[in-house]
Amino acid sequence: MASALGLLFISCITLSVVYGNSQIDDVKKYPDPSPQTRGSPWPAPKQMTISETQLTVDQATFKFEFSETEVCSILEEAFVRYFKIIFGSYSTSLKFSSWKTLRSNIGSRSRYSGTVSALQVVSPCIDNIYPSLTSDESYTLEISEKGVATLKASEVWGALRGLETFSQLIYQDGLGTFVLNATSIEDAPRFQHRGLLLDTSRHFLSLDVLKENLDVMSQNKLNVFHWHIVDDQAFPYESSTFPDMSMKGAYNAFTHVYTQENVKEIIEYARLRGIRVIPEFDSPGHTMSWGKAIANLLTKCYSGGKPSGDVGPVNPAFNTTYTFLQNFFQEISTVFPDHYVHLGGDEVSFDCWKSNPDITAFMENMGYGKDYAKLEEYYMEKLLNIVSGLKKAYIIWQEVIDNGAKVAIDTVVEVWKPGYVEEMSRVTSLGYKTLLAAPWYLDYISIQDWPRYYMADPQNFNGTKAQKDLVMGGEACIWGEFVDGTNLLSRLWPRASAVAERLWSPASFNDTKLATPRIDEHRCRLVRRGYPAEPLNGPSFCGHEYVYHQ
Amino acid sequence: MASALGLLFISCITLSVVYGNSQIDDVKKYPDPSPQTRGSPWPAPKQMTISETQLTVDQATFKFEFSETEVCSILEEAFVRYFKIIFGSYSTSLKFSSWKTLRSNIGSRSRYSGTVSALQVVSPCIDNIYPSLTSDESYTLEISEKGVATLKASEVWGALRGLETFSQLIYQDGLGTFVLNATSIEDAPRFQHRGLLLDTSRHFLSLDVLKENLDVMSQNKLNVFHWHIVDDQAFPYESSTFPDMSMKGAYNAFTHVYTQENVKEIIEYARLRGIRVIPEFDSPGHTMSWGKAIANLLTKCYSGGKPSGDVGPVNPAFNTTYTFLQNFFQEISTVFPDHYVHLGGDEVSFDCWKSNPDITAFMENMGYGKDYAKLEEYYMEKLLNIVSGLKKAYIIWQEVIDNGAKVAIDTVVEVWKPGYVEEMSRVTSLGYKTLLAAPWYLDYISIQDWPRYYMADPQNFNGTKAQKDLVMGGEACIWGEFVDGTNLLSRLWPRASAVAERLWSPASFNDTKLATPRIDEHRCRLVRRGYPAEPLNGPSFCGHEYVYHQ
């Protein structure tokens, strides 16, 4: 593996003398720009051999050819999408005078060994299916020395991943010719769950931004959109069963909501890119915005023997609470097709519960004494049973387990708190599937922090092989306090790309020095495709810079 | 002053129950959104009294009326621009159903006392003039209870500032009606030089981004674009005298350069907004990119008695150096109309000079011993004399003074290093005009850092009144290592707005708690106008959120 990648680097460093913008003026830059790779895929494939044989791809004649007589919408739309991604019109960024210079500098195209006229895609293609935790995303991609290109996958999701890799192998030489090297790839993800959490409660995010982000996720082979859709601050989910929840709980009930139609649109957009949408409806804490519409759902806090006017977490002592949850999650389980729902369970403060006389009476009745963790456990178990009864599985934040609640065996526990190395060991020793999020809170910002994200490994804890196998993957999280449509995408990308390679590529990709030129190329690739991916590694430039007004 | 502003806040808090998005659903948000101001200008005017009398402005009939028979291009273009800014089409963000709700919630428009049908602008207006350090930006703005609106200024630059304030007084009620309160304003800036430094060397910035930034600068009453146009990394300035400097020194000589035409376009765009363009050509350090085209300009570094192949700062020992500088700054002095040029002079390393035998000989000849600061002083004085001879004044970084160089009396010294409070005292005690930049390096990022910028005061040092009067103002700086077109504007705004109010408004505006709702309103104002100004103060929303694809 290492040697195959080694070849890639050597090959590309050699080529960089001849290709790309750097050959327009061959003067050494100061300080030396980081060694540029050309056509190096991100995240790195499991196995890749790149030959020095270079082939061209002709925009006028290139075709995606599909093995079956009927193509499903997933691949049909992907072919259209990837044609645009590969051959996007970039000519405006070079002036005429430069083309003349280029022609005289570069000379003829005779160095190229042939042309790739088509990519043969051999894959099943069934409509109306959704990606899942057990989807097979593996594929093989062969571009022979003679220019025969073949992509093979056993599920359509693997074909999508392979199309992305194919698009990344192609680069432009200084003359604008689309070029790729003969290449052989066998690829499959290291982890099944490679997620990204967006928070649409603290700040609302428009459908446009959510879709752009799904595009970039798929271009980083991330496959789970963890939609932290509501929280204390706002309830933008427009429920069909309880429309008052957004009417009263959204920042603006008309402009800052996701209608049923909007949610469907996002789920379909994600599905076409092989991305699961897992909604999070976090309770019993983080529910202030829920309580505006649902009477008696939240605990009334007391002060000096009287209601203070404040409310706290969901009230676990009332039966009406569970009737509501049954009806609400009944809806959620049909609106969101994924087998998993995220049920939260983090950061529950006991102060309000302690002050409330109904809760005190309930605690006595249940024999919980002063152990409010038992009350939380009681609530979570009731909730989890409701959701299990709806034939859904669930993901929960680590506190639920930390507090000792009994959960179903297919539960996924998400680890987010400091001390995560020990927690990963503990959670997997209890036999639970787990996801790591703790080292990847991208809402915390500092200069050049991506190497830290890159070097965090979800399986780097004390445990048996069986324990390590319980690690489903991880999630990059960008909580919404300080991001909205103005800065989300530029703050997220390509910092989240570091997490994406960690979760897709073999663990042996753990050298940030080797990764640096590759992530630089990847960020310029995203910029060229129209996304505002920010510079990570100091002074630099891209062949095609970001166009502010698209 | 404080009481006048107090009135504004009280008035607005009262209004917020009735107006804006919050009245669509009158449920309390959690946590309470920060108290919203409506129509509160940023930066705050010197004197302002706001009445509770509310007037409407009708898009169909409103006019700017000019006192003279002929209007100059500066005001003519400003009228067109501000009409668009005030009445930009925002209806798409509200759905039809919401309008019905709004109508029933709000009832009739009878509460409004009248209509402002025109703004009378009384000001001189002369074409082909440029703003300068001595421009008069003061203005008065009266909107009477009867709706008579008058803006008076003694120079056109004051009229521009007053138009901005007028546009900020106007807000929309929940029905979409444009409303403003009867208001009386007397305004003038506290400091004459209110700058923003952009660095187009570490990363190239497109003309589009530079122009958007000039727009936002003018909407924050900043009046100097400090264009750090070249540096070690790249030389994007396309010189007519020395075209090889960008041909060999730019990242890309065709796509990553500013042509003479581009520079003219930026200067004119800035002029129309009352913004000076001061270019920085920093030497003798930070000049690696200059040396590629100009033979023997940079010092050859030696190692073990032989040239090492590396080069260092400009070589002060050769006469050819000064011939080049004479010719180069001859061009610069004609291309950039402002009286000031920034000549840099920061961060000169002596290591390379020490290694070079020509320099050693020159030092001996001059009797400098081992005091390389003397050599730097020699260079800077020669350079400053050249530029003085071209009838230009100059700004320099503090090191030039720290090293003891003699400089012309109208020199402006820019203070950027830690320990700036003492340095401001020292520089002004030497009788130099000064600018403060040190506390406002916005390329350093952390969450919610704007209060720190807001509380830094350029006159907060030990010194006489005469010393304080030497403070011309200051500059927010965003160095280019980690910003380009993808993230510059969202990272800069509204963080730089905190600096803008510090430099424009009276020193008594020094309460970040009072400033918080106002800067929140200002950030939403910028977002509504189409700029990606990021959220600064936690969970929030804007009536009109950022539209990603403009």
Residue A164 makes CB contacts below 8 A (sequence gap 6+) with: A82, A218, A219, A221
pLDDT category at A420 given cuts 50, 70, 90 is very high
For chain B, percent of residues with pLDDT exceeding 90: 84
State the CB neighbour count (10 A cutoff) for residue A165: 21
| pLDDT (mean) for B341-352 | 96
**Per-residue pLDDT at A92 exceeds 80:** no
Nearest CA in chain B to A244: B25
Chain A residues lying within 8 Å of B248, measured CB to CB:
25, 27
Chain B residues lying within 8 Å of A247, measured CB to CB:
25
pLDDT category at A19 given cuts 50, 70, 90 is very low
Residue B85 CA, chain-centre distance (Å), reads: 19
How much is the pLDDT for B433? 97
Q: Which of A29, A233, A484 sits opposite B535 (nearest CB)?
A: A484
How much is the pLDDT for B23? 31
pLDDT category at B31 given cuts 50, 70, 90 is low
B483 touches chain A (CB under 8 A): yes
Compute the 3-state secondary structure of chain B and give helix, strand, coil in percent, each to the nearest 5.
Answer: 40, 20, 45
Q: How far apart are CA B527 and CA B547, in angstroms?
A: 8
**Per-residue pLDDT at A370 exceeds 80:** yes
User: Lowest-pLDDT range, A70-79, A524-533, B31-40?
Assistant: B31-40
CA distance to partner chain B, nearest, from residue A412 (Å): 29
Dihedral sign for Cα B124, B129, B134, B137, please: positive
Contact A546 B480 (CB under 8 A): no
Looking only at the bridges linking them, the beta strands covering B139-143 and B178-187 are antiparallel
ipTM attached to this prediction: 0.92
A276 within 8 A of A270, measured Cβ to Cβ? yes
pLDDT category at A78 given cuts 50, 70, 90 is very high
For chain A, percent of residues with pLDDT exceeding 90: 84
Which runs of consecutive H residues, i.e. helices, occur in A170-206? none
**Per-residue pLDDT at A11 exceeds 80:** no
How much is the pLDDT for A427? 97
What residues are paired with A21 via a beta bridge?
Answer: none
pLDDT category at B109 given cuts 50, 70, 90 is low
Nearest CA in chain B to A493: B486
Beta strands in A437-515 (DSSP E): 471-478
| pLDDT (mean) for B446-470 | 98
Beta strands in B266-345 (DSSP E): 276-280, 298-303, 306-314, 340-342
B237 within 8 A of B246, measured Cβ to Cβ? yes
How much is the pLDDT for B471? 98
CA distance to partner chain A, nearest, from residue B487 (Å): 6
Between A105 and A5, whose confidence is greater? A105
From the candidates A202, A478, A484, which should be mutated to test the interface with B, based on the most B CB atoms within 10 A?
Answer: A484
Catalytic residue among B65, B77, B268, B347: B347
A460 touches chain B (CB under 8 A): no
A206 touches chain B (CB under 8 A): yes
A256 touches chain B (CB under 8 A): yes
Residue A345 makes CB contacts below 8 A (sequence gap 6+) with: A282, A283, A284, A285, A376, A380, A396, A397, A399, A400
How much is the pLDDT for A69? 83
CA distance to partner chain A, nearest, from residue B87 (Å): 20
**Per-residue pLDDT at A9 exceeds 50:** no
How much is the pLDDT for B13? 29
How much is the pLDDT for B409? 82
Residue B233 makes CB contacts below 8 A (sequence gap 6+) with: A29, A30, A31, A539, B201, B202, B251, B288, B289
Size of interface A-B (CB pairs under 8 A): 202
3-state SS assignment for residue A503: helix
HSE-CB of A335 using CA atoms within 13 angstroms: 24
Tokens of B524: 């939403």
Beta strands in B148-260 (DSSP E): 149-153, 171-172, 178-187, 193-199, 224-228
pLDDT category at A404 given cuts 50, 70, 90 is confident
Residue B80 makes CB contacts below 8 A (sequence gap 6+) with: none
Chain A residues lying within 8 Å of B232, measured CB to CB:
30-31
pLDDT category at B3 given cuts 50, 70, 90 is very low
How much is the pLDDT for B119? 98
| pLDDT (mean) for B423-430 | 97
A308 within 8 A of A301, measured Cβ to Cβ? yes
Q: Which of A248, A536, A549 sits opposite B550 (nearest CB)?
A: A549
Q: How far apart are CA B237 and CA B245, in angstroms?
A: 8
Encode pLDDT of A212-259 as tens digits: 999 999 999 999 999 999 999 999 999 999 999 999 999 999 999 999
**Per-residue pLDDT at A545 exceeds 80:** yes
Contact A448 B482 (CB under 8 A): yes
Contact B21 A251 (CB under 8 A): yes
Q: What are phi and psi of A75, to 5 degrees?
A: -80, -35
B417 touches chain A (CB under 8 A): no
How much is the pLDDT for B424? 98
CA distance to partner chain B, nearest, from residue A219 (Å): 18
Q: Which of B94, B483, B490 sits opposite A254 (nearest CB)?
A: B94
Q: Which of B401, B412, B247, B420 is nearest to B339 (CA)?
A: B412
Q: How far apart are CA B8 and CA B48, in angstroms?
A: 9
How much is the pLDDT for B32? 52
**Per-residue pLDDT at B416 exceeds 80:** yes
How much is the pLDDT for B550? 54
CA distance to partner chain A, nearest, from residue B238 (Å): 15
Encode pLDDT of B138-180 as tens digits: 999 999 999 999 999 999 999 999 999 999 999 988 778 999 9
- Catalytic annotation present for B347: yes
